Amino acid sequence: MGAVDPVDRRYARTMSEYEPSPWEPVADHVERYLATNGEDGFLWEGGEVIILTTTGARSGKERRTPLIRVTDGERYFVVASMGGAPNNPNWYHNMIANPSVTVQDRSEVHHLVARQATAEEKAQYWPLAVAAWPDYDAYEAATTRDIPLMICERV
């Protein structure tokens, strides 16, 4: 028997510990997306959506969040914009505490490890994010914080 990939082990451990978002529109979007492998929920407000699964930094429970799909074909990039709010979203803190994540892109499930982009990487990949969701530039202009760009990749 071969070694178990730590990303897969984390995913298997948390599958039974899922806690839906308390915000009903988010919980409903995730449920519809997963039930249809993205047939319902992949397109949203003119953008394409993935489902990001993180492990709660404090609760240890599995959290799922629909986010704009940004990819270069090898990696996924998620933007912690929260619409330009003054604080980072909860899923960002989850990724920092527990970088093993899952991205569901329609029917494809990817077990990845997340890290925050360096300033140079953010400058390089930010145009991909803006191409996928043009409002990201407006969100960054609306806040005093530096909006984190997270890179999710295979290891």
Dist CA 109 CA 98 (whole Å): 18
Whether residue 1 lies inside any domain: the answer is no
Whether residue 21 lies inside any domain: the answer is yes
Q: How many domains does the chain have?
A: 1
Whether residue 65 lies inside any domain: the answer is yes
Whether residue 86 lies inside any domain: the answer is yes
Whether residue 36 lies inside any domain: the answer is yes
The CATH number of residue 57's host domain is: 2.30.110.10
Q: 36-89 pLDDT, tens per residue?
A: 999 999 999 999 999 999 999 999 999 999 999 999 999 999 999 999 999 999
pTM attached to this predicted model: 0.87
Whether residue 50 lies inside any domain: the answer is yes
Residues 6+ apart with CB under 8 A from 124: none
Does pLDDT of 117 surpass 90? yes
Host domain of residue 21 = 6-153
